[in-house]
């Protein structure tokens, strides 16, 4: 079944051709799990779909996850219906709301007394985006919220006894684009999907080291990272294997392993640059743990320095986070030239070329007018002007991302950072769902889905 928005001339045809004939069947909803023209008190809903069969249906905190779907005339502006949709979701305790006029499809989630946009696409793109929609509101996916731990679907395990570790660098030479936030929360989302994850911090600012809760000291005397971090890994061919330096982080559950960074990286860059093996040592040491991890994520410095080069040489794939603002966009030219130079070196040492998974729109404003009128053109510019692929997932700049990173625990008269991933902090919030979508998209792109 296909959908053509040009065939929807009025609201009735949006309901019948998009929702009834295309969306509901594609999302796995059978006639006994959705209802049309539902009246709940003074509220009138176009469609209400349930994750599980509920007859008669009851809308309360214990109800199987439900989705309100509202259809509008193709000429109507969806922004004019947000207040009413928010009223529906908050008043009826419904988690998801889909709003469409046929030309555009949006999905919102309820958070307390407000709603947040988590997905949007043009009606003409729906067939290409249907897997993303399924992940958010497909019946098979939302049903799992109500299964016991024993009933939850188990991650598929390779039967040949081999594990192919994938190494992904997260890089942009422009700072402040959400690089560290992407690394740590993507690591948590991958861990939730049953992957064994190693994070390597290669930035002397050590933001990832802080963000994963490894800094439990508040003065130099108690610094337990100084003598056992990524610097020692890179300085020594024979000693400091990854298995010795990597630390467990309970920043998320299941735990991940992290090789911390330290400010001393800045001081020793020139010394490392003079070593013949400095660019290759990480490749060799990662090979020693290829059976212990599924995915390695490398956080990089926002520069064109040695540490960024080491990360890209060791990586199989690249994610480029960007806030899509002018300076970040201009920096993409430098990124492409840097990748070209790295791939030239990788060819010389007979290593596979670095594959760009895509530019990831991150730290994006949630302002409705910006999302409606500006975001699409900025995303389109990346593909057209810079000839780079884009991720379908968008990471929006939300308060929960800051709050989970700022958690602390009191230690006498001081406080020690105790950050958690946004998925562990608030599993059902919009940011958590965005990183879950990103993890799924990354695994699909690297052949591990």
pLDDT reported for residue 59: 54
Same domain, 103 and 176: no
My answer on whether 376 and 405 are in the same domain is yes
What is the domain range of residue 364? 166-445
Average pLDDT for residues 7-34, to the nearest whole number? 91
Name which residue leads in pLDDT, 65 or 313. 313
Q: Is residue 153 in some structural domain?
A: no
Please identify, among 112, 146, 180, the residue that sits at the C-terminal boundary of a domain.
Answer: 146
Torsion sign over Cα 279, 283, 284, 286: positive
- Within 13 Å of residue 110, how many CA atoms lie on the same side as its CB? 22
pTM summary value? 0.70
What's the rounded mean pLDDT across residues 430-436? 94
Instruction: Quote the strand ranges of 202-324, DSSP E.
Output: 247-249, 256-259, 295-299, 317-322
Domain boundary among 113, 146, 179: 146
Note the Cα 57 to chain centre separation in Å: 34
Are 244 and 331 in a shared domain? Answer: yes
Residue in 181, 447, 215, 429 with CA at minimum distance from that of residue 297 = 181
Within this chain, do residues 179 and 259 fall inside the same structural domain, yes or no?
Answer: yes
* 80 and 209 belong to one structural domain: no
| Backbone φ and ψ of 166, nearest 5° | -110, 135
* Mean pLDDT, range 127-137, rounded to an integer: 84
Residue 50: the pLDDT is 81
Q: What is the DSSP string of 339-356?
A: HHHHHHHHHHTT-PPPEE
Please list the alpha-helical segments (H only) found in 15-54. 24-26
Q: Is residue 74 one of the residues assigned to a domain?
A: yes
Per-residue confidence band for 443, with pLDDT thresholds at 50, 70 and 90: very high
Does residue 154 fall inside a structural domain? no
Looking at the fold, whether 121 and 223 belong to one and the same domain comes out as no
Burial 395-421 (b: 16+ CB within 10 A, else e): bbbbebbebbbeeeeeeeeeeebebbb
Does one domain contain both 393 and 365? yes
28-72 pLDDT, tens digit each? 988 888 889 988 878 899 998 887 654 455 555 445 567 999 999
Asked if 172 and 141 sit in the same domain, the reply is: no
Kindly report, residue by residue over 148-198, the tens digit of the pLDDT.
Answer: 444 344 444 443 444 489 999 999 999 999 999 999 999 999 999 999 999
Residue 290 CA to residue 167 CA, distance in Å, equals: 10
In a shared domain, residues 134 and 187: no
Residues 313 and 426 in one domain: yes
Based on the fold, state whether residues 348 and 426 are members of the same structural domain. Answer: yes
The CATH number for 212's domain is 3.40.50.300
Examine the fold and report which residue of 146, 176, 196 is the final residue of a domain before the chain moves on: 146
Average of pLDDT values for 93-100? 90
CA distances from 69 to 16, 20, 85, 96, 220 (A): 12, 11, 9, 9, 56
User: Does 146 score more than 50 pLDDT?
Assistant: no
Q: What residues does 39 pair with on adjacent strands? A: 44
∠ CA 268-274-280, rounded to 5°: 90
254 in a structural domain: yes
- Cα Rg of the chain, angstroms: 24
The string of DSSP codes covering 302-315 is: SSSSHHHHHHHHH-
Establish if 54 belongs to a structural domain: yes
Q: Is residue 37 part of a domain?
A: yes
Query: CA dist 17 to 25, 128, 165, 234, Å?
Result: 11, 17, 44, 59
Whether residue 194 lies inside any domain: the answer is yes
Q: What is the CATH number of the domain that holds 84?
A: 3.90.1570
Domain count, the chain: 2
Residue 35 lies in a domain: yes
The reply to whether 181 and 134 lie within a common domain is no
């Amino acid at each position: 079944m296909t959908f053509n928005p040009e065939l929807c001339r009025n609201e009735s045809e949006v309901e019948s051709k998009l929702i009834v004939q295309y969306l509901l069947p594609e999302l796995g909803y059978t006639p006994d799990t959705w209802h049309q023209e539902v009246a709940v008190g003074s509220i009138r809903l176009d469609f209400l779909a349930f994750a599980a069969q509920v007859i008669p249906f009851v809308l309360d905190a214990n109800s199987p996850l439900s989705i309100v779907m509202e259809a509008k005339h193709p000429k109507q502006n969806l922004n004019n219906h947000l207040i009413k949709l928010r009223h529906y979701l908050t008043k009826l305790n419904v988690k998801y709301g889909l709003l469409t006029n046929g030309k555009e499809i949006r999905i919102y989630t309820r958070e307390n007394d407000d709603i947040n946009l988590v997905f949007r696409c043009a009606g003409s793109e729906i067939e290409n985006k249907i897997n993303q929609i399924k992940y958010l509101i497909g019946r098979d996916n939302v049903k799992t919220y109500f299964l016991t731990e024993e009933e939850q679907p188990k991650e598929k395990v390779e039967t040949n006894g081999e594990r192919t570790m994938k190494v992904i660098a997260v890089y942009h030479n422009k700072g402040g684009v959400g690089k560290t936030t992407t690394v740590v929360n993507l690591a948590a989302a991958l861990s939730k999907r049953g992957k064994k994850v190693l994070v390597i911090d290669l930035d002397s600012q050590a933001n990832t080291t802080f963000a994963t809760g490894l800094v439990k000291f508040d003065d130099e005397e108690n610094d337990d990272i100084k003598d056992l971090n990524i610097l020692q890994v890179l300085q020594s061919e024979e000693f400091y294997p990854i298995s010795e330096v990597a630390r467990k982080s309970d920043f998320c559950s299941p735990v991940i392993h992290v090789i911390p960074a330290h400010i001393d990286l800045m001081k020793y860059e020139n010394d490392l640059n003079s070593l013949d093996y400095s660019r290759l040592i990480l490749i060799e040491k990662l090979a020693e743990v290829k059976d212990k991890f599924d995915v390695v994520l490398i956080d990089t410095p926002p520069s064109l320095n040695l540490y960024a080069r080491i990360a890209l040489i060791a990586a199989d794939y690249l994610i480029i986070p960007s806030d899509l603002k002018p300076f970040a966009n201009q920096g993409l030219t430098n990124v492409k030239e840097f990748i070209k130079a790295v791939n030239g070196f990788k060819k010389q040492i007979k290593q596979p070329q670095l594959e760009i998974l895509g530019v990831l729109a991150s730290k994006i404003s949630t302002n409705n007018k910006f999302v409606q009128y500006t975001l699409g053109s900025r995303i389109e510019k990346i593909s057209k002007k810079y000839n780079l692929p884009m991720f379908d997932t968008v990471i929006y700049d939300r308060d929960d991302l800051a709050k989970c990173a700022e958690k602390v625990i009191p230690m006498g008269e001081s406080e020690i950072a105790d950050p958690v991933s946004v998925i562990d902090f608030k599993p059902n919030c919009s940011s958590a769902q965005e990183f879950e979508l990103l993890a799924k998209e990354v695994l699909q792109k690297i052949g591990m889905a």
